[in-house]
Structures are given as structure tokens and as C-alpha cells.
Amino acid sequence: MENHEYFWLFLIINCCSGSGTGFNDDPAIDPRLYNLDWMKSVPDETLISALSIPGTHESLSLHGGPLAKCQVWTLDQQLNLGVRYFDLHVGLWLSNQKYLYIRDSHWMFWQHAHLDEVLRIIFNFLNTHTSESVLVKVTLHGLYQGRATKLMTELIDKNRNKIWNKSSIPNMQQVRGNIVLLQSDTFNPGIENQESMFFENKKLINVEDKIRNIKSHLCDHHVVLTDTAASALSRPKTLAQTLNKQLVNFVVQHKKSSSNQGCLGVLSMNFPSADLIKNIIQLKPCNCVKGAKIGDGGRKIQLKKPLHWT
């Protein structure tokens, strides 16, 4: 390959991946950046909670203007890039509607999709990439949450062989090719998840210390979730430009020097870049404590409020 060809290849990859910033708002993707089957190398006995998993906050909020838009890539694109956690906000406009509508978290803008369509896209992906598992958190909105809960329950029952909706933490062997539900404030089926508190006042604070404290939780009780959500005073894109750069710098350093490599849990992001996703994927699973229980025997701890570690 000639020198000028190397130059253009370098330029394309760095342009499309948002290299170094952790941020991307370009909908175009170079297929060479795909991470279609990255869970294949994860041992079967690994708890899903022990993985560092790239995810998206308000995963399908692609419409509604600068105060509502949180992502630039479609669901298909996110799956191809290696995103394995999706934050969905659904509900009904009218009590007699048959489908759950996808909207933003403020319940203002329809995102031109229904939940059954979203699940179909995820299942189609998992049917082809059977080594993978996809975590999904569903928050119900609107005036008709009783009806919405009924529709959600029917969807789960219809796909009961493809959805893990138990409270216990599964290992990879149990959920390859499946969706794993996470509990939300408005819909309880699924595994428990708690905020990591890695970010404080828009800054990563004492993360390595917090990781040491949450390690036992990752290895037994629940999924730990870092949600880089936009605040009421910040546009999602503006906030992502600040937070994602901190996150990619931390993940790169964590991978090089941390004695607890991995152990980050789910990182739910706005406008992540391909290089940020790739760096998260490359982290080893958390080295869980000996004797952690898995599957149906996993111990469950009831927590009334998010954990705060100092």
C-alpha cells in the first residue's frame, strides 16, 4: 500500500470513530469499526454483571431537536458497533392503543418506532450473532401505565424463551442469544441495577476507589450502571462532549494500569464514539470473588435507594 493510501485510511478511521474525544455526532459509520461478536470470547461462566458493557442513554432518542436528541446512530448501527445495553422509554397516548410507542424520557417526542419493532430488530441481530446478549431497560410513561404494563407483560410472555426477566444474575451461557431485562422505576421484572456514582458534578471522581467497593456487588447482587444523562440545564450533545472525553481517557488508563481491570459495569452514554465503545469492549471481565453465586441461585439484596460510595 502506498503512503498516501495509509494516510487516507488513517484519516477515515479517525474521522468516523471520534478518536480521542469519545464523542461522535456523525451518522456515517465505516463497517471496519463494527464489533459484531465481541462477547464470543467471554467465558460461559462469566456473570453478565461482571462485564464492562457499552450502552446508550435514551437509546432511540434520535428526534426532537437539540434538547431531546441523545443519539445519532440507529438501533441497527448501535448493535453493529457493539452496544449491548439499551435504555428505552415507552408508553401509550390512548388507553385503547395496541402498541407501546418509543418516546424520549420527557415523554414529548415520538421516536418513530414501537417497542415490538425494536424487539424484533434486536432478536434478528441475536439470531445471527448467537454469542451476544443484549441488556434492555424499559421505563413506562404516560397516563395509562396499567395498560402499558399489561402490553409489556404480553410481549415478554410472547418471547419468553428469548428474554431473561428473572431477578437473579445470569451467566453468559444462560443468556447468549437472549435479551436480559433490567428493572426500572416503573417496570419491575428483570435484574436489579444501581447507579455507580462514578460521575459527580460532571466529573469522574475517585473511580478506582469506587470500583474496589462495588466489585462484590458486580460479582453477585446486581448490575452497576453509569448513566451519563443530560441534566435539565445541559443539552445532551454539549454534555456528551465533556463527559465522553473524560470517560475515554479514564477507560484507556484503567485498561493499562488498574489492578481491577474491567469491573465498570454498564456505561450508558450519549453520542459515544466508535473508539470509546471499542475501548470498553476490550476491558477484561471483572475478576469476581470466589464463591459468587450465579443464575437462579444468585443472592438478591433489596436496596431502597441507589448506593453511594466514597
Answer yes or no: is pLDDT of 294 > 60.
no
- With 0-12 / 13-18 / 19 or more C-beta atoms within 10 angstroms meaning exposed / middle / buried, residue 217 is buried
Asked if residue 191 lies in contact with residue 180, where contact means CB atoms within 8 angstroms, the answer is yes
Query: Do residues 297 and 84 make contact, with C-beta atoms less than 8 angstroms apart?
Result: no
pLDDT range class, residue 231, cuts 50, 70, 90: low
| 207 pLDDT more than 50 | yes
Residue 120's CB: how many other CB atoms inside 10 A? 12
Q: How many helices (H) and strands (E) does the chain have?
A: 8, 12
Compute the average pLDDT of residues 203-209.
Answer: 93
Instruction: Indicate the burial class of 229 (C-beta count within 10 angstroms; 0-12, 13-18, 19 or more).
Output: middle
Candidate from 172-176, 219-223, 269-273, 288-292 with smallest mean pLDDT: 288-292
- CA pair distance 137, 154, nearest whole angstrom: 16
According to the model, what pLDDT value does residue 110 have?
Answer: 74
Q: Is the pLDDT at 13 greater than 60, yes or no?
A: no
Residue 104 and residue 111 in contact, taking contact as beta carbons nearer than 8 Å: yes
Going by pLDDT thresholds of 50, 70 and 90, the confidence category of residue 106 is confident
Least confident of 55-69, 189-203, 293-307: 293-307
Instruction: Report residue 306's pLDDT band, with 50, 70 and 90 as the boundaries.
Output: very low
Hey, which of 38-47, 94-103, 108-117, 205-214 has the most confident mean pLDDT?
A: 38-47
pLDDT at 7 over 50: no
230 pLDDT band, cuts 50/70/90, is low
pLDDT at residue 232, rounded to an integer: 56
Q: What is the pTM of this model?
A: 0.87
- pLDDT band at residue 229, thresholds of 50, 70 and 90? low
